[in-house]
Amino acid sequence: MTCLETLRRIVDRVLAVRESIPLVLLIASSLGFYLVSPAFLSPMNLSNMFAFIPELGIIALGMTMLLTAGVFDLSVGAVFAFAPLLTYTIVNQVGIPLELAMLVGFAAAMLIGLINGLLVTKVGISSFLVTLGMMLVVRGLGLYMSAGYPQKTLGGDPIIQTLLVGTVTIGPVTIYAGLLWFIGLAVFLHFLLRRARFGNWVLATGGNGKSARARGINTDAVTIRLFVFMSFLASFAGLISATRVGSAYPIAGDGYELETIAMAVVGGTSLFGGRGTIIGTVIGVILIRSIRNGIILIGVPGLAYNMFVGIIILVAMSVQALLERRNAS
């Protein structure tokens, strides 16, 4: 009896931490995949899986900050394609060095973020509509500019190549530069959100914007900065991706906006602002990527992938909602 009570208390305490739900899901699904196909946890498969994590993961980190501030960005997938396309078009057709062209790509992305932020805060349109419109504009611009053709991204400066897509091999595990960027950004943003003044303002902006403004916080400036940062991250992730695959495709990153929102929300970040967790997002990113990897390994047709991701989202959300209702009563 007491043993059962102790166990119950431990379970309660674990469930009180938002990140525990996705973590339990991750452990459960990994165990399931491993039992069916032991190759799932082999060093080769893990390093392969983690090679694909940063590109969506970096966007998901930015999305977590935006969601915490009570907004989101549907144009990230389009920016993910557009910025590297612009960068390599300049390199290939104008002959400008890659370093300079990268700055142009980043600047263009940040301008897109700035426009998003200004329309949301100063004109007062919901972020859903603003970024939906921006997604179409940017995607269309990329397609028009490229006439639908990709730009080759090979033969760039070797230092930049190494910084973006270099690898380190330790025994059987290969670590990609993108993963290091992702880890670095995750650590920085985690502390920014939890320990910095700006993080407190982000939480307050999404939690109760009116109160935050009454305390003298410029919530518009907070939101605009986050949109600019989000677009920068999307363009950076796009650059890594385009450089890795050897071509910048105008249709790259299609659907990334919803997938990254799903990663953040599954991890425990609220869609309605005021609650955000970078640790949860990192777990959410790994969870959703590992499902894509795992279902292929265990022999489920890859086309069924979305079905599994959908189920995971529904399960995670339901558990969270049920727990919140129980805590409220």
Footprint of other proteins (CB under 8 A): 191-192, 195-198, 200-201, 203-204, 206-208, 210-218, 274-275
Which residues, other chains included, contact 245 with Cβ-Cβ below 8 Å and sequence gap of 6+? 153
Q: Is the CB of 62 or the CB of 207 nearer to other proteins? A: 207
CB of 7 to other proteins, least distance (A): 25
CB of 258 to other proteins, least distance (A): 25
167 backbone φψ class: left, alpha, beta (φ>0; ψ -120 to 50)? beta
- Burial code (b: 16+ CB inside 10 Å, e: under 16) for 169-179 equals eeeeebbbbbb
SS3 247: strand
Phi/psi of residue 72, each to 5°? -145, 175
Task: For residues 240 and 248, give the distance between their C-alpha atoms in angstroms, rounded to a whole number.
Answer: 10
Angle, helix 43-68 to helix 177-195, in steps of 10 degrees? 30
Q: Is the CB of 204 or the CB of 285 nearer to other proteins? A: 204
CB of 199 to other proteins, least distance (A): 8
Residue 89, CA atoms < 13 Å, CB-side half-sphere: 19
Q: Is the CB of 197 or the CB of 325 nearer to other proteins? A: 197
Closest CA to 85 of 155, 163, 142, 158: 142
Q: Is the CB of 210 or the CB of 325 nearer to other proteins? A: 210
Q: Is the CB of 105 or the CB of 274 nearer to other proteins? A: 274
SS3 233: helix
CB of 227 to other proteins, least distance (A): 19
CB of 279 to other proteins, least distance (A): 17
CB of 146 to other proteins, least distance (A): 36
- Burial code (b: 16+ CB inside 10 Å, e: under 16) for 144-164 equals eebeeebbebeebeeebbeeb
Q: Is the CB of 81 or the CB of 203 nearer to other proteins? A: 203
